[in-house]
Amino acid sequence: MKKEIEEFLNYLRLEKNASPHTVSAYGRDLQQLAFYLKENGYNWRTADTLALRGFLAELHQRHLKKSSMVRKLAAMRSFFAYGLKKNWRQDNPASLLATPRQEQSIPGFLTEEETARLLDWPINSGDPLEVRDKAILELLYAAGLRVSELTSLNLEDIHLKERLIRVRGKGKKERIVPFGRQAEKWLREYLGLRPLLALNKVSELAVFLNYRGERLNARSVQRLVQKRLNQIAMTRKISPHSLRHSFASHLLSRGADLRAIQELLGHRSLATTQKYTHLDLAHLLEVYRQSHPRS
């Protein structure tokens, strides 16, 4: 049963461009399901809706969070859909399972004043790691990036003169996103110091490197955001993704068009919106420059 899981996870990585976090979480979920099925006399080909419902019922008895239940169900649906595609399933037994209703929560975001506190601090401009962290925070907020999008940036994706970056989002969908003068300033300073981190690894194309000269990962970005929050004694629970929510909230509050914000964020929901409106790059740049607090 491990073989099918590994093939599916590779499919998520290579064809669906799923984030490392999603791949890791789905892997754990499916391994847990595989153990349950094996204990109850099933395998991937014989598992039916009743068996999957039993698995979810067992998780419910353990008082698993609804959000985790929803993710596990999504993993099962996607996995068995993959089985259909590969012809080792004739149906998708997870498709008949009802999705648990989740409590709606408001995404965490910062006020403009809090964002300024988070981003503005004195650093040692000769320290490549400090300058890198500063550039990361500025770019996360300036461009509304997902952490996975930021860590996957390559040098060829950065266009400093035009203040544009090419972003590879979910489903390998690419978009062009502008960024402001503050992000440009710190990106230039960081890229000037980047060779000190690269350690002669000329083959490493990643923009943001760790101290070993390798591509920075999402967990490291989480740590640097938390470190900065501790420095300014901010007690609210804020994640790197909160900067993305703040980006959208601040643009909206300053009068930016909602459809333009969706385009900048690369939301899939724009597929419907684009049937009725077409936003070109010039319009997006103008909206950004007029609305972003640090443009």
Catalytic residue among 132, 194, 244, 245: 244
Marked catalytic residue, from 132, 134, 146, 250: 146
Chain position carrying tokens 């498709």: 95
> From the candidates 2, 3, 212, 276, which is the catalytic residue?
276
211 catalytic, yes or no?
A: no
Tell me if residue 63 is catalytic: no
Q: Considering 13, 168, 267, 283, which one is annotated as catalytic?
A: 267
To the query of whether residue 212 is one of the catalytic residues in this protein, the response is no
DSSP annotation string for the chain: -HHHHHHHHHHHHHTS---HHHHHHHHHHHHHHHHHHHHTT--TTT--HHHHHHHHHHHHHTT--HHHHHHHHHHHHHHHHHHHHTTS-SS-GGGGSPPPPPPP-PPP---HHHHHHHH-----TT-HHHHHHHHHHHHHHHHT--HHHHHT-BGGGEETTTTEEEEE-GGG-EEEEE--HHHHHHHHHHHHHHHHHHTT-TT--BSSB-TTSSB--HHHHHHHHHHHHHHTT--S---HHHHHHHHHHHHHHTT--HHHHHHHHT-TTHHHHTTT----HHHHHHHHHHH-TT-
Catalytic residue, candidates 53, 71, 77, 170: 170
Residue 267 known to be catalytic: yes
Cα–Cα distance between 231 and 137 in angstroms, integer?
A: 14
- Residues found in the chain: 295
Whether residue 170 lies in the annotated active site: yes
Say which of 77, 241, 283, 294 is annotated catalytic: 241
Q: Which residues are catalytic?
A: 146, 170, 241, 244, 267, 276
